[in-house]
């Protein structure tokens, strides 16, 4: 790594050979630790040893300046950027608790901000009335599980990038997919320019795809790399060439719609199991109405003389359907489980999870009697039909926003769903809310038969101006149904292929053993259920791809079954053995696979729960899923890059001709916008601070008063000042220290300042002293610093 010294072109400075710059255990790490920039300390989080950065005064100021520059560029100067903040601790998802994941604090601290920002997407979308584009920005501490190397060559890397706590900076830009590529290029150029703006060596920054960049804590947080299809061509890393190698400092990713595929988080409530082994529980049960009723029935069944009960012959139906003790216990535990899951908003499908099933069988009394989720839904879940009636005034919210706002008018619980109950509920709702029938423009429902009948036979006669619009997904399903009607041969084939596996577990096992060595991802043929959208097309695509293998398997099954072969297997064998029939089926399947993709895509879009941008003007246009361009970096990465970039070792100007007799001095040539202090105030002679003479003491007090006044004026102008007039030490010591702190200008005040108002200003980059009047310092510094900023 070579040393490049940039600054004013007054006098060239002498530099050391490149081999002396930040190599191994050098003075660079000692400088950062001694001057209060950064240090690495050992810490314990939830019983685990971690390394955490300890920032001193200068390091804290540098971090604040970096955060301010990022915020000014990404939030303050951009349009439609909404800042959000989220808690440091995150909640474990419902599935995580049953997968055995620990709930220690170490695992609860968030590791990135990506999902925290995407969780705010619905709120921001509502705030913008569905208008794109907009951005969501956030910053905060995150936990990165890093390990520090023990070699001496890794000391600087450990010090700068070894902290387990990082301040992440993230911006997610939600846009139309058609503009994703252009916006991705815009953010790449903007961020790369920003990094180079504050660098003395812009050529040290480079760009590489995410796949070729070295693994670090930055790209590990990206869950949807690339464009959603596994490609990394739109996942870019900005790299900096550190002395130990290239490291990514920022990632810019086209996440497409991958952020909206997450299911909502679920919460689970505890269910207590009553202990019936205690005497108090038994006494309470004996006093219950259920126990008394059973006791009365038992007494009635006994003879009048108190003898044995009269034995009566029981019918087969009464014997089979009589509830036993085990049956009642099973019904009780199933009803309680369904009630708890429904109250806690937990899907009953979670009962089939292996961890939940094991918990119920080992920890819950009668838990082994709980059936699978589908039986709980069919037998124990109380069936009530809910009809939600919404209304939306057909007028834009404002002149600039063409999206309407919908309102929930009523929620009706129906005992049955038919055209009569639905039509009656809608009419009663409109009458109770005072909406006139002639004011109804559209009635939007799903494509169910009773909905169409309710509109045609009940609502159409009352709502003369209304048009019935059915669900887009149902309409696309009808298009798919019309598409597959002409293909009778293919339809009969996929139905027969599904029938041979119906209640035939042994044949399923033989098919999986047969197909496993032939394909990469062996699986059973999809079930071509017409009522499940796209299932039929998926089954056709499967058989079109594996028709040759399937024909071989059918022939082997015919030999295995012989005369016991079912009719569906015989039909498949006859069809596949005929070359003409086989070619016709292959041609039909190829045509279906080739031309059905738009129908499958549109159906998936309309039935998806992901956000779809739609406005009044775009009702006749194509709906889309918003793309997301994400820029992610950290304060620690920026601090590491710019500290390494700013470090120099040089000789003073007085030793230009005799460098062998002088010692190289350290300097941090930080950018004026990033350096902790832009201006330092020092006294020319240390005797002015410690002299015992009355005149020197009086002069020192007056000079320090001048420094204090100048400090206030500079701070009012927005210039950061380090007032060292009260500190002891020689002038050379002050200058060396200010160079190590990154101070851009050092103002030297002496006796001449009192008499004629003149001061010496020494530049950090040129080491040249310039004499000027104290009254013009504020304007000169403001002008010079702003010139350097540009």
Domain boundaries, the chain: 18-257+626-641, 385-470, 478-607, 677-789
Task: Kindly list the distances between the CA atom of residue 701 and the CA atoms of 161, 706, 730, in Å, as whole numbers in the listed order.
Answer: 45, 9, 18
Q: Where are the alpha helices (DSSP H) in 608-690?
A: 635-646, 687-690
Which of 208-217, 306-315, 564-573, 694-703 is predicted most confidently? 564-573
Q: 721 in helix, strand or coil?
A: strand
pTM (two decimals) = 0.51
Band (pLDDT 50/70/90 cuts) for residue 283 is: low
pLDDT band for 26, please (50, 70, 90 cuts).
low
Among candidates 540, 539, 527, 534, which has minimal Cα distance to 477?
534
Q: Specify the residue for token string 């988080």.
A: 265
- The confidence score (pLDDT) of residue 82 equals 92
pLDDT value at 365 more than 90: no
pLDDT band at residue 268 using 50, 70 and 90 as cut-offs: very low
pLDDT at 10 over 50: no
Burial 316-335 (b: 16+ CB within 10 A, else e): eeeeeeeeeeeeeebeebbe
Share of the chain above pLDDT 90, in %: 12
Please tell me the predicted confidence (pLDDT) of residue 46.
52
> For the domain with range 677-789, which CATH number is right: 3.40.30.10, 3.40.50.800, 3.40.50.720, 1.10.3720.10?
3.40.50.800
Residue 746 DSSP symbol: E
Q: How many other CB atoms sit within 10 Å of the CB of residue 231?
A: 14
Quick check: 402 and 617 in contact, CB under 8 A?
Answer: yes
Q: Cα separation of 416 and 381, whole Å?
A: 16
**Which range among 379-383, 516-520, 663-667 shows the weakest confidence by mean pLDDT?**
379-383
N-terminal to C-terminal alpha carbon distance within the chain: 26
**Residue 715 has which token pair?**
């701070």
Give the best-scoring range by mean pLDDT among 201-210, 378-387, 539-548, 612-621: 539-548
Run of H or E including 509: helix 505-515
Say which residues have a Cβ less than 8 Å from residue 90's Cβ, sequence separation at least 6.
108, 109, 110
For residue 608, what pLDDT is reported? 57
Taking a C-beta distance cutoff of 8 angstroms, is the pair 160, 636 a contact? yes
What's the pLDDT score for residue 685? 74
pLDDT of 477 above 50: yes
| 528-548: average pLDDT | 86
Among 4-13, 394-403, 664-673, the range with the most confident prediction by mean pLDDT is 664-673
- What b/e sequence results for 351-375 when a residue is b if at least 16 CB atoms lie within 10 Å of its CB, and e otherwise? beeeebbeebeeebebbebbeebee
- What pLDDT shows up at residue 702? 82
pLDDT tier at 108, thresholds 50, 70, 90: low
What single DSSP character describes residue 313? Answer: P
Whether the CA torsion 446, 450, 456, 457 is positive or negative: it is: negative
Region of poorest pLDDT, from 286-290, 496-500, 566-570, 589-593: 286-290
Q: Which two tokens stand for residue 331?
A: 């019904």
pLDDT tens sequence across 431-460: 998 898 888 888 888 878 888 899 989 998
> What is the predicted pLDDT for the residue at 555?
92
Looking at the chain, the whole-number percentage of residues with pLDDT higher than 70 is: 74
Neighbours of 552 (CB within 10 A): 13
Span 18-257+626-641: which CATH code? 3.30.930.10
What is 385-470's CATH number, 1.20.120, 3.40.50, 3.10.620, 3.30.420? 3.30.420
SS3 string, 430-484, reads: HHHHCCCHHHCCEEEECCCHHHHHHHHHHHCCCCCCCEEEECHHHHHHHHHHHHH
Is residue 373 over pLDDT 80? yes
- 10 Å CB burial of residue 526 (0-12, 13-18, 19+) is buried
* Phi and psi, residue 101, nearest 5°: -75, 140
Which range among 138-142, 146-150, 155-159 shows the weakest confidence by mean pLDDT? 146-150
Average pLDDT on 709-716 reads 88
Q: Cα(20)–Cα(3) distance, rounded to whole angstroms?
A: 10
Angle at the Cα of 711 from the Cα atoms of 706 and 716, rounded to 5 degrees: 130
- Region 636-663: mean pLDDT is 75
Which helix H or strand E contains 494, and what residues bound it? helix 488-499
**Higher-pLDDT residue of 119, 168:** 168
């Amino acid at each position: 790594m070579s040393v490049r010294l940039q600054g004013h072109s007054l006098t060239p400075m002498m530099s050391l050979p490149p081999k002396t710059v930040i190599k191994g255990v050098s003075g660079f790490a000692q400088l950062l630790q001694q001057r209060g920039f950064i240090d690495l300390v050992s810490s314990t989080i939830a019983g685990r040893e971690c390394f955490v950065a300890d920032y001193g005064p200068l390091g804290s100021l540098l971090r604040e300046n970096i955060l301010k520059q990022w915020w000014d560029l990404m939030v303050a100067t951009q349009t439609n950027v909404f800042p959000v903040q989220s808690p440091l601790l995150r909640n474990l998802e419902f599935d995580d608790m049953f997968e055995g994941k620990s709930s220690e604090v170490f695992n609860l601290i968030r590791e990135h901000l990506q999902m925290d920002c995407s969780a705010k997407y619905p709120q921001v979308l509502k705030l913008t009335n569905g208008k794109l584009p907009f951005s969501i920005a956030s910053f905060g501490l995150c936990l990165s599980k890093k390990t520090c190397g023990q070699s001496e060559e890794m000391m600087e890397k450990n010090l700068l990038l070894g902290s387990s706590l990082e301040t992440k900076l993230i911006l997610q830009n939600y846009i139309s997919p058609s503009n994703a590529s252009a916006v991705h290029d815009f953010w790449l150029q903007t961020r790369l320019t920003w990094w180079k703006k504050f660098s003395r060596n812009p050529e040290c920054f480079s760009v590489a795809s995410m796949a070729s960049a070295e693994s670090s804590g930055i790209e590990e947080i990206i869950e949807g790399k690339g464009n959603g299809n596994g490609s990394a061509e739109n996942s870019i890393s900005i790299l900096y060439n550190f002395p130990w190698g290239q490291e990514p400092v920022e990632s810019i990713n086209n996440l497409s719609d991958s952020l909206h595929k997450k299911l909502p988080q679920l919460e689970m409530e505890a269910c207590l199991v009553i202990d019936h082994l205690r005497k108090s529980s038994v006494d309470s049960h004996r006093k219950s109405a259920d126990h008394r009723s059973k006791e009365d029935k038992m007494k009635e069944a006994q003879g009048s003389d108190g003898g044995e009960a009269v034995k009566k012959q029981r019918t087969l139906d009464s014997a089979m359907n009589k509830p036993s003790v085990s049956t009642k216990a099973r019904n009780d535990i199933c009803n309680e489980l369904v009630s708890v899951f429904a109250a806690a908003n937990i899907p009953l499908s979670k009962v089939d999870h292996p961890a939940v099933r094991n918990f119920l069988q080992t920890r819950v009394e009668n838990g082994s009697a709980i059936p699978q989720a589908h039986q709980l839904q069919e037998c124990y879940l109380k069936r009530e039909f809910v009809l939600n009636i919404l209304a939306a005034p057909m007028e834009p919210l404002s002149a600039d926003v063409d999206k309407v706002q919908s309102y929930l008018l009523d929620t009706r619980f129906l005992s049955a769903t038919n055209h009569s109950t639905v039509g009656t509920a809608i009419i009663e709702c409109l009458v109770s809310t005072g909406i006139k029938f002639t004011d109804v423009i559209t009635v939007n429902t799903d494509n169910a038969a009773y909905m169409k009948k309710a509109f045609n036979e009940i609502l159409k006669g009352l709502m003369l101006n209304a048009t019935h619009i059915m669900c887009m997904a149902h309409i696309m399903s009808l298009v798919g149904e019309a598409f597959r009607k002409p293909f009778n041969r293919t339809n009969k084939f996929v139905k027969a292929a599904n029938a041979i596996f119906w209640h035939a577990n042994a044949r399923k096992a033989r098919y999986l053993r047969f197909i496993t060595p032939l394909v990469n991802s062996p699986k059973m043929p999809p079930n071509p259920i017409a009522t499940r959208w796209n299932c039929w097309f998926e089954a056709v695509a499967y058989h079109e791809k594996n028709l040759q293998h399937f024909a071989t398997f059918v022939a082997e099954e015919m030999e295995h079954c012989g005369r016991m072969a079912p009719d569906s297997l015989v039909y498949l064998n006859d069809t596949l053995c005929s070359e003409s029939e086989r070619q016709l089926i292959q041609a039909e399947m190829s045509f279906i696979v080739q031309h059905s993709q738009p129908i499958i895509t549109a159906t998936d879009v309309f039935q998806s729960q992901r956000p779809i941008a739609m406005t009044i003007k775009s009702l006749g246009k194509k709906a889309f899923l918003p793309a997301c361009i994400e820029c992610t970096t950290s304060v620690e990465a920026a601090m590491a890059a710019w500290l390494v970039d700013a470090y120099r070792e040089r000789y003073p100007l007085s030793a230009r001709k005799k460098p062998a007799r002088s010692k190289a001095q350290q300097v941090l040539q930080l950018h004026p916008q990033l350096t902790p202090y832009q201006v330092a105030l020092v006294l020319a002679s240390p005797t002015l601070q410690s002299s015992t003479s009355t005149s020197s003491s009086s002069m020192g007090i007056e000079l320090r008063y001048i420094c204090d006044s100048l400090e206030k004026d500079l701070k009012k102008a927005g210039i950061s000042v380090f007032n060292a007039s009260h500190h002891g030490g020689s002038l050379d010591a002050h200058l060396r220290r200010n160079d190590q702190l990154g101070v851009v200008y050092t103002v030297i005040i002496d006796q001449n300042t009192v008499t004629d108002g003149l001061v010496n200003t020494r530049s950090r980059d040129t080491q040249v002293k310039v004499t000027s009047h104290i009254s013009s310092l504020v304007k000169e510094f403001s002008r010079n610093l702003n010139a350097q900023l540009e």
